[in-house]
Amino acid sequence: MRRRSLRVLAVLVMCVLIATGCRGAADTADSDDAAGGDAAASPEAGGSEEAATGELTFAEGVTEEPCPDEVAVNPDNGCIYLGVISDFTGTFAGLGAPIAEAVGAFWNRVNEQGGIGGFDVDAVTYVRDNNYNPETHNEVYQEIKPEILALAMSLGSPTTAAIYDDLEASSIVTVPAGWTSNYVFQDLVLEYGTSYCVESMNAVSWATENVVDDPQTIMAVHYPGDYGADAAYGAQVAADDLGAEFVAVETEPGQDNQAGAIDAIVSQNPDLVVVTTGPTDVATIIGQAAAQGYQGQYVGTSPTWNPGLKDTPAFEAMTQQYHQSRPAETYEEGEGPGFDAVREVFGDDGDDGILTGWTPQYAVKAAIEAAIDNGDLTREGLLEAATSLEAVDYEGMQPEGSGNFAAGEAFPREIIMAQPDAEASSGVTAVTDYISSDVAEGFEFGDQPCWQQL
């Protein structure tokens, strides 16, 4: 691995180490102010004697040269390149575009605040489309891999699984738009929000206390693998805790593939259905099951929903039968500096896809700051820094205590429940604050992900 030293950063790195004094001294210089101020503001920015020598080691994905003109804000800064693999043409295309746009906007905000430790961050140049296809995901990952320090976004859990062994071999830290419980066991992944498995435990518990009395049968309709089956197993754990019968119905993506799931719902008439599919498929399932007479209740895991469902024929049925579980407050309703910042960029019409791109970048930023403090901005140095984080300042966009990657399980266990709302840009409004159930709080992951136990 080729390594170089960026000695010109010595003053900035020392500012991180003696943060308070340097922040005051740098107030007159915009870039120095933010470079020292960002790192100093991080609770992880403890500094190190190694960094104080003035040596900062870096290699792939980091350059002394500034970022490309369309990205660079600070001409004297070097550049950190982050990759983004999203879905612009596949099952989750409605989410993929705002996710990628929000990742770029987050880092543009960082750059406008002076960058990090003498670097601007480019999360725009290496953006690629995976079509929500694992093979395509791997192809575009291999294309950008030599050029990036880390993946700021890897949309999808099955797609991310397709490259995980390579990520591990290359020590490339990754942020997924996915919440499979696989990530409890994978140090390279900077997850946020709870796992599908725990999310479903909480959703079932909430639903049986608020919209379904004494359920006798709970059905999970789900995609196969580490997305849908992960949520289905959580529903099974909650059903067992309630003493209810549990039925799992696996379904493949695609509107033409939902006849079996619809028939199972209509014929078996469960009291509650937990759905973990793509948005177009849930519209097909709920709309056609309602047309055939099913009047029971649904809860859907977070990626099952997108605001485009407001414009489908199924939306009327959804307003009567559907609630959404989610890892955070809605775009419109969220309170705190992070929500204020994202709404300042995207206005009042943003949606949850934007939050999915923006929110996890706080963990990447904290890891980069810590790596610079440690004097090692290589891929290996970033991984070491990330797995040492005990907390991340999400500016109020995640529940208290999120981001303890040093503890291994950085997933919080709380969720928020919401219901369809035609007037909300996210298409839903919250009906709870953060909640967690006894069964979710007491669940232990053991030695394998949830979906492998279904």
Q: Which whole-number Å values give the CA distances from 175 to 164, 334, 429, in the listed order? A: 12, 22, 26
8-state DSSP, 342: H
Q: What is the b/e burial string over 411-432, where b = at least 16 CB atoms within 10 angstroms of the residue's CB?
A: bbbbbbbbbbbeebbbbbebeb
The packing angle between helices 10-17 and 30-41, to 10°, is 40
Closest CA to 87 of 188, 192, 157, 147: 157
The pLDDT value recorded for residue 53 is 38
If phi > 0 it is left, if psi is from -120 to 50 it is alpha, else beta; for residue 328 that is beta
Residue 293 near residue 266 (C-beta atoms within 8 A) = yes
- Residue 328 to residue 283: CA distance in whole angstroms: 23
- Residue 116 to residue 41: CA distance in whole angstroms: 12
- Residue 232 to residue 241: CA distance in whole angstroms: 14
The pLDDT value recorded for residue 30 is 33
- H or E segment at 380? helix 379-386
Contacting residues for 226 by C-beta, under 8 A, at least 6 apart: 157, 158, 161, 180, 181, 182, 449, 451
48 by Cβ neighbours in 10 Å (0-12 / 13-18 / 19+) ranks as middle
Question: What's the CA angle centered on 219, arms 216 and 222, to 5 degrees?
Answer: 170
Residue 391 near residue 72 (C-beta atoms within 8 A) = no
CA-based max dimension of the chain: 72
Name the residue with tokens 């004297």.
Answer: 76
HSE-CB for 48 with a 13 A CA cutoff: 14
**In sequence order, what DSSP letters do the residues of 72-92 get, joined into one string?**
-S-TTSEEEEEEEEE-SSSTT
pLDDT in tens, the chain (454 residues): 333 333 333 323 333 332 322 222 222 223 333 333 333 333 333 333 333 336 899 999 999 999 999 999 999 999 999 999 999 999 888 889 999 999 999 999 999 999 999 999 999 999 999 999 999 999 999 999 999 999 999 998 889 999 999 999 999 999 998 899 998 888 899 988 999 999 999 999 999 999 999 999 999 999 999 999 999 999 999 999 999 999 999 999 999 999 999 999 999 999 999 999 999 999 999 999 999 999 999 999 998 998 999 999 999 999 999 999 999 999 999 999 999 999 999 998 888 889 999 999 999 999 999 999 999 999 999 999 999 999 999 999 998 889 999 987 778 899 999 999 999 988 999 999 999 999 999 999 989 999 999 9
**In sequence order, what DSSP letters do the residues of 383-440 get, joined into one string?**
HHHHTT-S----TTSS-TTTT-GGGS------BEEEEE-TTSTTSEEESSSSB--HHH
The pLDDT value recorded for residue 204 is 98
The pLDDT value recorded for residue 54 is 60
- The separation between the first and the last C-alpha atoms of the chain, rounded to the nearest angstrom, is 42
Q: Which whole-number Å values give the CA distances from 19 to 46, 56, 66, 243, 416, in the listed order? A: 9, 17, 24, 56, 37
The pLDDT value recorded for residue 8 is 31
Contacting residues for 319 by C-beta, under 8 A, at least 6 apart: 419, 420, 422
Q: How is residue 145 written in tokens? A: 């891999």
